[in-house]
Structure 1
Amino acid sequence: MKVAVKNFKFLESIIIKKGYSKTGLAEKAGIHHMTMWNVFNGKSNPSPSTALKICKALDVEFDDVFQIVDQEEVTTK
C-alpha cells in the first residue's frame, strides 16, 4: 500500500490559496524541500508521516488531498 496525491491540481490550488510556495510549505511542514518537490512532481509518493505533515501545515484533512492505494494503482499527475 502507498500514499498518493489524489489530484495534483487541487493540491496546488490549496497551496496557493494558503499563500505558500512549495518551498515555503516544506519549511512550514518541516520537510526537506527536495522531498516536497519530488512529491509534487510525481517522482515519489510521500510516506504516511510526510503526508500528515503536509496536511497539518495546510490545515486540511488527509482524505481531502491523499489516498491510500495498492502500488499498482498509484497514478501520476
Structure 2
Amino acid sequence: MDDKLILKNHLKEVRMEKGLSQNQLAEMVGVSRNTISSIETGQFNPTAKLALILCIALDKKFEELFYF
C-alpha cells in the first residue's frame, strides 16, 4: 500500500493573480521554469524550503497555497 501523500496547490492561480509568468516566478525563487510548471501540474512536490520560499514570494500562508 502506498501511503505517500500528494501535495496539491493553488500555485498557478495565485501566480496568475499576481500577474507573474512561470519564468518570472522561477527567477524570484531561484528555480527553473520547468520546476514551477511541474509543481503547478502536481508532477513534483516542492521541498519544505522551496514551498516556504514560494509562500514568501507570493505573500501567502502555506495553507493558502498548498493542501492535501
TM-score, length-normalised on structure 1? 0.68
Give the 4+ runs in structure 1 shifted more than 6 A. Answer: none
Q: Which runs of no fewer than 5 residues in structure 2 stay unpaired?
A: none
Q: 2:7 aligns with which of 4, 23, 28?
A: 4
Are residues 42 and 3 of structure 1, via their aligned partners in 2, closer, same or farther at CA, if it must alter by over 3 Å?
Answer: closer
Count of aligned residue pairs for this structure pair: 65
Give 1:51 deviation, angstroms: 0.7
Q: What amino acid is the match of 2:14?
A: I
Q: Identify the residue that residue 46 of structure 2 maps to in structure 1.
A: 46
SS at match of 1:49: helix
Q: Identify the residue that residue 58 of structure 2 maps to in structure 1.
A: 58
> Which has more strand, going by share of residues?
1
Cα distance in 2 for residues equivalent to 1:35 and 1:2: 19
Higher RCO, 1 vs 2 (CA within 8 Å, ≥6 residues apart): 1
TM-score, length-normalised on structure 2? 0.76
Give 1:45 deviation, angstroms: 0.9
SS at match of 2:20: coil
SS at match of 2:7: strand
Give 1:3 deviation, angstroms: 7.0
Are residues 63 and 4 of structure 1, via their aligned partners in 2, closer, same or farther at CA, if it must alter by over 3 Å?
Answer: same
